[in-house]
Amino acid sequence: MDTQKFKILIVDDNPKNLQVLGNLLEKKSYNVEYALSGQEALEWIHSEQFDLILLDIMMPEMDGYEVCKRIREEDQYRDIPIIFLTAKTDKESIVKGFELNAQDYVSKPFDSAELLARINTHLELKDSRDKLKDVNQWLEHKVDEKTKALQESNKKLEDTLTELQNLDKMKSYFLHMASTEIRTPLTGITGTLHVLKNQEVSFALKNLIDLLEKSVARLESFANKAILTTELSTKTYEFKPEEIDLAEMVSFAALELNEFLSQRKVKIIEHFEEIKITGDKDLIFRALLFLIRNAAEHTRENFPVELTLKQDDRGVVFSVLDYGKGFSRDTMENIFSPYRFNEEDFNDNNELSIYVVKLIMDYHQGTLNVYNQEKAGACIELIFNN
């Protein structure tokens, strides 16, 4: 142990004892200071930093016990090792010294080797405590640094999240506004086209009107789906549950699409049980329209679309089966994602219908299943838990 870095204070009213102890410690390269009284010892510790104190008990005016007590009363000196030097070896005196938080005692006349061993032990302990304290302070500093950095990162994340939420609200708002602004003039265009269709026009102009009418219908369909998607995904749709005769509503949806089904030369085959559910009538009707129209568009000409309504152990199940080519593997992997458009999907906006129907079923706490049939095309199931 490097003894030169330690400073020891010897307190004894006997100059001869101070000289003997001082010579012993200086030979071991300790830094030594001396005090002839308790008061002088207190003055020393207030002006210098000591690593250990050798303190005589029997001194006039202020004995070693009182000196030890006053030292321990001040927080900054509570960890300085104190070794009592005493001729009093009775149990009560020793116990009193330890009660005052002294670390050790050595009986007079002392053995030099024993005294040096005890001094060395307590200095090593103090040195270890000081190093541990330094490590703890370093760790606390690092923890404070990391905590501050984490708080700053959290603040940035919160600011970023707030900004993203605001952007999402703005996106939803503009999407809703854009869809509304598209739909409003489309109503006028649709009315105008209807008037033109009833006029005597050339064949070429009639074909042009038909093409324009289809484009307007397509755009209007997309605008309606965009508005509904925004309301459902942002939870702003006003949900109005009521009792619904599901078989009757399916029939109404098929009737609504009668002209389209005739154009496609698609027949509807119904397998219905009389079942009632609780749900939002407008949402359920839209979901039925989307699914039946989608199935009719994908089924082969002169093939039917089969609609089945039944009750089984899963709940109330409505299924739509077409006789088309079914969904591709890539489409099936991301069937419920609104971001899965490829070139083929982009040319068929009815693919968005699946995502809208999924949102509608989520509102009803139901399930949407999509799969391909071996001898037919695709089958889509709506499963209601009520």
For 335-361, the pLDDT digits (tens) are 777 655 444 443 344 457 888 899 999
Measured in residues, the chain has a length of 386
**For the chain, which residues score pLDDT lower than 70?**
1, 167-188, 193-195, 197, 201, 216-218, 220-223, 338-351, 386
pLDDT at 248: 94
Backbone angles phi, psi at 307, to 5 degrees: -115, 125
pLDDT at 24: 94
Per-residue HEC secondary structure of the chain comes to CCHHHCEEEEECCCHHHHHHHHHHHHHCCCEEEEECCHHHHHHHHHHCCCCEEEEECCCCCCCHHHHHHHHHCCHHHCCCCEEEEECCCCHHHHHHHHHCCCCEEEECCCCHHHHHHHHHHHHHHHHHHHHHHHHHHHHHHHHHHHHHHHHHHHHHHHHHHHHHHHHHHHHHHHHHHHHHHHHHHHHHHHHHHHHHHCCCCCHHHHHHHHHHHHHHHHHHHHHHHHHHHHHHHCCCCCCCEEEEEHHHHHHHHHHHCHHHHHHHCCCEEEEECCCEEEEEHHHHHHHHHHHHHHHHHHCCCCCCEEEEEEEECCEEEEEEECCCCCCCHHHHHCCCCCCCCCHHHHCCCCHHHHHHHHHHHHHCCCEEEEEECCCCCEEEEEEECC
pLDDT at 285: 95
pLDDT at 346: 37
For the chain, the C-alpha Rg in angstroms (whole number) is 46
Who's near 261: CB < 8 A, 6+ residues apart? 254, 267, 268, 296, 305
Percent of the chain with pLDDT over 70: 85
pLDDT at 92: 85
pLDDT at 178: 59
How far is Cα 211 from Cα 196, in angstroms, rounded to an integer? 13
What letters, b where the CB count within 10 A reaches 16 and e where it falls short, cover 160-187? eeeeeeeeeeeebeebbeebeebbeebe
Who's near 289: CB < 8 A, 6+ residues apart? 253, 256, 257
Cβ contact 22:10 at 8 Å: yes
